[in-house]
Amino acid sequence: MAEKVTFCAFLLVLLSTLAAAIRPSARSSTVARRAALENGLGRTPQMGWNSWNHFHRNINEEIIRQIADAMVDTGLAKLGYEYINIDDYWAAYDRDSQGVDYLKYDNCNNQGISPQPRYDAMSKALLNSGRNIFFSLCEWGVDDPATWAGGVGNSWRTTGDIKDTWASMTAIADKNDKWASYARPGGWNDPDMLEVGNGGMTTEEYRSHFSIWALMKAPLLIGCDIRSMSNKTKEILSNRNVIAVNQDGLGVQGHKVQQDGDQEVWAGPLTGGRFAVVLWNRGSAQASITASWWSIGLNASTVVDAHDLWTDKIISAVRGELEETVDSHACKMYVLTPK
């Protein structure tokens, strides 16, 4: 391959193996004291690919190698999609010193034992391994890991498994939103992997999925077969503007700031005094959505340029609010830059 794509075994470690819109200000003091895992990883949300959503248990070495090649050939690796993650149903007890860069520790076969001490033990073992390994906790939000996992792992699942449906994706976004104030560089809320391109949603619904995940600083882990993805799927996954919001160095998770029935505004700050904003129409009919400066965190008199991240057009000299018509099950995403 022309470029390096990090290859990582994605292990589901069993218990027996181990034995061998909430506003950020609401919990700011608590979050400020939360320790971060000191392994130097996860300064921005992880990006890559995972086998589970599309292939489930039907994986083999040939598929994984082809996916790694496709990650480079499609240009996705250049955009930051770094990890190739092997999920369940392919594991080995022995690994050499080059196999593993990322561990997803699942909660299967947990025998009813509390997650926290098990994940803490694994964290210490990884830190003592002599290799920097990204630690992804996947206990499905059972014990509210956002409140304790910052010093244990680099990301933590806040929800159950996603399904390739509009209902599942929107419900999971809401569940993850609750923990927005706990995310920061080194540790991220994880609402599960991307379903973009798997066929269960429309293009507009997938665009909403990708936009909200990017705004929430969620891990961007592709879950489709990138060897045969459509041009529309590639266009969504390759949007540099949206990826830049996810990878912004400020590391603040955007959250829901306005709601009027099925019409919502999600927003969050970015570096340079900018703001990312998503106008999200979750209803069954086209609707007008207005994002007010007061809810975003801007002074009412502030004048901004609004960059539409999907059309790449710029609306100049916007003051006080941003109003747009949004199609059903669709969104519009902007970066607001004060003038």
- Got the DSSP string for 274-335? -EEEEEEE-SSS-EEEEEEHHHHT--TT-EEEEEETTT--EEEEEESEEEEEE-TTEEEEEE
CA–CA gap between residue 192 and residue 168 (Å, rounded): 11
Specify whether the CB–CB gap between 179 and 6 falls below 8 A. Answer: no
The two three-digit tokens of residue 326, written as one number: 């949004």
For residue 247, give the 3-state DSSP assignment.
coil
Q: Please tell me which residue in 73, 101, 144, 161 is annotated as part of the active site.
A: 161
Is 101 catalytic? The answer is: no
Q: Please tell me which residue in 87, 101, 106, 192 is annotated as part of the active site.
A: 106
Residue linked to tokens 């540790």? 187
The two three-digit tokens of residue 197, written as one number: 């391109």
Pairing status of strand 6-9 against strand 83-86: parallel
CA–CA gap between residue 211 and residue 240 (Å, rounded): 12
Residue linked to tokens 């709601």? 259
CA–CA gap between residue 81 and residue 6 (Å, rounded): 9
Specify whether the CB–CB gap between 114 and 143 falls below 8 A. Answer: yes
Residues paired with residue 255 on neighbouring β-strands, in sequence order: 267
Helices (H), the chain: 15-19, 28-32, 52-55, 61-73, 115-127, 166-177, 203-215, 231-237, 240-246, 293-296
Which of 104, 108, 105, 113 lies closest to 83 in space, CA to CA? 104
Q: What is the DSSP letter of 59?
A: -
Specify whether the CB–CB gap between 186 and 43 falls below 8 A. Answer: yes
Is 161 catalytic? The answer is: yes
- Would you mind telling me the total number of residues written for the chain in this entry? 339
The two three-digit tokens of residue 136, written as one number: 């992804």
- Residues annotated as catalytic are 106, 161
